[in-house]
Structures are given as C-alpha cells and as structure tokens.
C-alpha cells in the first residue's frame, strides 16, 4: 500500500504546477460544538459515526494582500458511515478557503466557508436538533478549519514536497437560524488528512 501511495505522489509531482490541490480525509463525529473543539475540549460521539472525504482545490490568488495568504476555491464529496445509527449519507461541498503560511512556510492555518448539501440528515444533527427542539436541513453552511505542515520540509524525499498532513474540523450549521431556521443544530467531524499541491 505504501508503494501505491508513493507512486501516486510521484505521478502528481510530474504534472506539478501548484495551482491545484487534492485532499483525502478521514474523521469521526464529536458531541462538542465548534467553539469547544477550537479550545481543545473534544467529546467523542457514542455511536462513532465516521466520514471519508475527498476535496479538490484551485488556487485563485497567491500572496493575497502581499502577505503569505493563499485563496483557494474548493469542491468536495464525502461519505458518512453512520453504522448502526442510520443510513449512510453522501455530501457535496463548495467553499472558498484562505491558507496562512508561517514558520518559513512549514505550517499552514486554513479557514474555509461555503455550503454543504447532504443526501440525508446526519444522525448527530438529528440528535442535536431533537435535544434542542430545533430544525434539521439537508443544506447548511459549511466551515473547514485546518492546521497542517509540509512533509517536504522535514523529509529529504523530493516527491513529498508540497505534501501536507494535518487536522481539519468539518462543520455544518445553520448560522444561528439564518439558514433553513436551524438555530443550534449542526455537526462537527474531527478529521486527519493528507493533501498534495500539484
């Protein structure tokens, strides 16, 4: 399997122009809300719903405002494995994302905002809405918050240049009722990912 991964990275490296990115992610649901996760208070979901996601990006602007800030347009698909909690659900996302590069461009902090549409109601969202007497929706606002580092900076392997590993929070919400009257409901998935620029 590791040889397949290295071969894939080599192929992407051959067509490198660094305007595109491809990210594969895996994560699990949490009962913590978005703010709690940012402060490090993460409570696992008892049913352990999982998500598998693939996102592609296109660089719109590098060094925005003459600072190490890159603007990307992203689109993605995800598969939510609800296990015994409910039927499996698919998601489509479209969002813009800013990446701030720091520590000699070794680390990146990313913040994305856009839209998410799911083929069904995620169990964690249904559970949250029921406990708060709130609504649910297939269409919600989407936030994508990440922190990663460039493997190429810590490796002698040229093929790993512009390959990032990191953590991302996949967040869906109604923005306090602005979208489909979903006031406090939504979902958060904490994910690990690998991303390659090419």
- Burial (0-12, 13-18, 19+ Cβ within 10 Å), 63: exposed
Measured CA distances, 86 to 50, 122, 126 (Å): 12, 8, 10
pLDDT at position 100 is 97
pLDDT at position 178 is 85
- Into how many domains does the chain fold? 1
Neighbours of 78 (CB within 10 A): 21
Print pLDDT tens along the chain (198 aa): 555 555 555 555 545 567 999 999 999 988 777 767 776 666 766 677 899 999 999 999 999 999 999 999 999 999 999 876 667 899 999 999 999 999 988 999 999 999 999 999 898 888 877 877 778 899 999 999 999 999 988 887 888 889 999 999 999 998 887 888 888 778 999 999 999 998
Neighbours of 43 (CB within 10 A): 11
Range of the domain at 171: 2-197
Measured CA distances, 167 to 33, 86, 91, 137, 148 (Å): 16, 26, 19, 26, 6
- How far apart, in whole angstroms, are the C-alpha atoms of residue 183 and residue 177? 4
Assign residue 109 the CATH number of its domain.
2.40.160.20
């Amino acid at each position: 399997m590791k040889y397949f991964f290295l071969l894939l990275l080599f192929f992407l490296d051959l067509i490198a122009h660094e305007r595109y990115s491809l990210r594969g992610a895996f994560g699990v649901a949490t009962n913590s809300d978005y703010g709690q996760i940012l402060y490090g208070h993460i409570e696992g979901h008892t049913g352990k719903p999982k998500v598998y996601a693939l996102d592609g990006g296109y660089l719109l602007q590098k060094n925005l405002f003459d600072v190490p800030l890159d603007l990307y347009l992203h689109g993605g698909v995800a598969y939510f494995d609800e296990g015994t909690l409910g039927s499996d659900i698919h998601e489509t996302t479209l969002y813009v994302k800013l990446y701030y590069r720091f520590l000699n461009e070794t680390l990146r902090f990313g913040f994305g905002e856009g839209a998410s549409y799911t083929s069904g109601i995620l169990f964690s969202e249904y559970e949250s809405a029921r406990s708060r007497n709130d609504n649910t929706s297939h269409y919600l606002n989407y936030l994508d918050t990440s922190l990663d580092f460039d493997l190429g900076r810590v490796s002698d392997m040229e093929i790993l240049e512009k390959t990032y590993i990191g953590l991302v929070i996949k967040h869906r919400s109604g923005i306090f009722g602005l979208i489909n009257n979903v006031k406090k409901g939504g979902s958060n998935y904490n994910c690990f990912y690998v991303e390659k620029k090419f």
